[in-house]
Amino acid sequence: MASFHRLNGCYEALEGGNTAEALVDFTGGVSEPLSLDRKLLVGRADKRKVLFQTLARAHSRQALITCSIRPAEGEAVESVLSCGLVCGHAYGITAVRKVRLGERLQSHCGTTWVNVVRMRNPWGTSDWTGAWSQGSEQWQLAGRVELERMGIIVRDVGEFWMEFDDFCRFFTDVVVCRVAERRLLWPRSHWREVRCHGEWKLGPADTPGATEAVGEASRPGPPLCPRGDKKEQQLGETQGDRMAEGGKESNSVSVRSERSVMSEDGSGRHTDRRSRCGGCINHRDTFLNNPQFLFEVRGHGDEVLICLQQEDRRIWRSAGGGENLPIGFEVLKVEANRSSRVQCVGEQAASSVYMDSRSVALRVTLAPARYVLLPTTFHPGSTGRFLLRLFSHSRIQLRQLENELPCSSLYRCWGVQACMVTTVHLQRASGLSEAKHTGVHERPQCQCTHDFG
């Protein structure tokens, strides 16, 4: 612990924080917070089933899982509920199991199978007193032999079992910390990790006014947005508004020249297009100025977990700063032969929320295609370093795109280099013969009748 406090500057820098960040610091994994809608889970058996399967699958893959109860209005942290659970405590989930009941329990519970979880309270001061707790009717009816057959055993002080339906009624937050395997041989079901370091930085031709404004955002100081309970911060337009805006401009194609490097960021400031701190997608003029990373999903698609982590700013708290930047990322689906930076906003494949937390994660299933990932701060001009991590079950390569235009061909001496891009949108056609088969495989062919050579 002494080494950890020296790493962060002082013990005061460790005050507060949250479970998700602590798990990342001590395991090197990636934390995915899950906010539970108790009303929806209690009323929908299908939603409870999906959540149970998610937790069971994560636990079987050696993930660390914690959960907590957010105090309701008027309740204090550390307050003990009538069922024995404590608000604000971080409980660990040590087992997720579906068990078959014996005859006596079947007649008592009215079911053959039951979903249960084993919890552990590290404080060991108060335990669950409801169904499946020690001393409950279920334990007395089953007996020790039957409980051991079902695997319902308690290993340590502070451990207890509870039915998953009760878990959904009381707990409000879950954090799943996934740790990637780094051995030479590991099961395909486990996560593989690739990572890239990057930086949001200013361009060489930024005007003094822009540099002065950015300096205030990049130095330790007040946060760029109010820090609440670290929930999603829209800080502007909603995700639906962004998608609507993306549709308006997705038909345009532009090629930037090296001579035209200055643009307005929407607030009247002129920024260098070679800067790499363009802000979120709400800032259409500068969004593509952010760092861009290319990856490709092959086969039949894959579930990927993307995590964006900003540099730890707690070391600056002693100087009166140390507040996190609001960060997030966008994933764009691009052409199959894309090898240079994206110049226009195309199809959005995935989008994270923007939060002023150390890390933002998103788990999504992507179809086989090539994608460009843009990690961003919410406000243009905010600078800092970041770590981009991508977890998948298949082998995926991640690399940063540096070139604004495709590299020249090795055979440029014998051919003409491309100097323009034209996009053709086919809206309707007439006079066509009846096709022998129908489907998405029918593709029109365009032929240029003028020789530009």
pLDDT in the model for residue 234 = 42
pLDDT in the model for residue 334 = 94
Please state which of the four CATH numbers 3.90.70.10, 3.90.550.10, 3.30.360.10, 3.20.20.70 is assigned to the domain occupying 2-178: 3.90.70.10
Higher pLDDT, 67 or 270: 67
The three-class DSSP label of residue 371 is strand
Query: Per the residue annotation, which of 121, 282, 289, 290 is the catalytic one?
Result: 121
Q: Which amino acid is at 249?
A: E
Residue with tokens 């700063």: 321
Please state which of the four CATH numbers 1.10.3720.10, 2.60.120.380, 1.10.10.10, 3.40.718.10 is assigned to the domain occupying 192-401: 2.60.120.380
Q: What is the pLDDT of residues 7-17, one digit of tens each?
A: 555 545 455 56
Active site residue 89: yes
Q: What is the pLDDT of residues 336-374, one digit of tens each?
A: 999 999 999 989 999 999 998 889 999 999 999 999 999
Q: What is the pLDDT of residues 16-43, one digit of tens each?
A: 567 888 888 888 888 888 889 888 998 8
Q: What is the pLDDT of residues 235-255, one digit of tens each?
A: 444 334 433 444 433 333 333
What's the number of CA atoms in the CB half-sphere (13 Å) around residue 232?
13
Any idea which of 68-72, 216-220, 364-368, 408-412 has the lowest mean pLDDT? 216-220
**How far is it, in rounded angstroms, from Cα 238 to Cα 243?**
9
Question: Per-residue confidence at 145, pLDDT binned at 50, 70, 90?
Answer: confident
What's the number of CA atoms in the CB half-sphere (13 Å) around residue 155?
8
Active site residue 300: no
H/E run at residue 149:
helix 137-150
Tell me the pLDDT of the chain averaged across its residues.
77
Any idea which of 56-60, 112-116, 186-190, 320-324 has the lowest mean pLDDT? 186-190
The three-class DSSP label of residue 10 is coil
pTM for this predicted structure = 0.69
pLDDT in the model for residue 107 = 73
Query: Per the residue annotation, which of 89, 283, 289, 290 is the catalytic one?
Result: 89
pLDDT in the model for residue 76 = 82
Task: Report in angstroms the alpha-carbon separations of 15 from 18, 334, 392.
Answer: 10, 43, 34
Task: Report in angstroms the alpha-carbon separations of 228 from 225, 232, 311.
Answer: 9, 10, 20
Task: Report in angstroms the alpha-carbon separations of 249 from 335, 349, 425.
Answer: 17, 16, 14
Residue 350 pairs in a beta bridge with 331
Q: Where are the domains of the chain?
A: 2-178, 192-401
**How far is it, in rounded angstroms, from Cα 239 to Cα 351?**
8
**How far is it, in rounded angstroms, from Cα 251 to Cα 333?**
14
DSSP state of 159: E
Structural tokens at position 78: 């550390």
